[in-house]
Amino acid sequence: MGGQGDVTVLGTVVSPFALRVRMALYLKGVGLRVPGANVFDKGELLVASNPVHKKVPVLIHGGKPVRESVAIVRYVDEFRSGAGFASILPADPYDRAVARFWAAYVDDKLVAAVLGILRAATEEERDEKVEAAHAVVAPMEEAFATCSKGKAFFSGGDSVGYLDLALGCHLFGLKRFGRCSA
């Protein structure tokens, strides 16, 4: 990721998963190009770069596509490692496994819970979805208390880590959740 012009991210401003990738690149000090994207028009570059799912985000580095936000974050962390670059993933294998577990939990459970609230058709359905979402959030709060070790970030340190990115890219949705559950 040496040159400024060799990193492109295909994504939209409304995609939290594309935001996750841009956040990881920012943490690693990588300049990038983000071409304009139309959510409804899949464009030739996107279809050619992600022919299976035809969705964002896609990182194109040196002409090679990397797909799916979690794979991209891991790729960026591994590619831009060494002296002068803080690791996004924890160094300890157990801590790395824990971070990956909770990141998957965020993407699978938390995102679904928040979308359920936003898609509720009636007040009664919304109340049910809010209660279910609280049950999903509670283990995350416990995980934060354990993983953060009293620090400001899930990583247990003074800087953003893998799980912070996984959750942080969804903050706009969680903010809506807070308004819905108040």
Report pLDDT digits (tens) over 102-147: 999 999 999 999 889 889 999 999 999 999 999 999 999 999 998 8
Residue range 20-36: mean pLDDT, rounded: 85
- Per-residue pLDDT at 67: 96
Q: Where are the domains of the chain?
A: 4-79, 93-181
**CB neighbourhood size of 155 (10 A):** 24
Q: What is the mean pLDDT of residues 162-166?
A: 94
Answer yes or no: CATH 3.30.420.40 is held by domain 4-79.
no
Distance, CA of 92 to CA of 17 (rounded, Å)? 25
Hey, which residues does 59 pair with through a beta bridge?
Answer: 9, 66
Residue 20 C-alpha from the chain's centroid: 4
The residue with greater pLDDT, 130 or 32, is: 130
Report how far residue 27's alpha carbon sits from residue 73's, in angstroms, rounded to the nearest whole number. Answer: 11
Query: Among 3.40.50.720, 1.20.120.10, 3.40.50.2300, 1.20.1050.10, what is the CATH number of 93-181?
Result: 1.20.1050.10
Can you tell me the distance from the alpha carbon of 182 to that of 179, in angstroms, rounded to the nearest whole number? 5
Q: What is the pLDDT of residues 42-79, one digit of tens each?
A: 789 999 999 999 999 999 999 999 999 999 999 999 98
The whole-model pTM stands at 0.85
Comparing 56-60, 61-65, 93-97, 174-178, the range with the smallest average pLDDT is 174-178
Q: Which of 8, 72, 67 is nearest to 37 (CA)?
A: 8
Q: Examine the pLDDT at 17 and tell me if it is beyond 90.
A: yes
pLDDT of residue 158: 82
Residue 178's pLDDT band, with cuts at 50, 70 and 90, is low
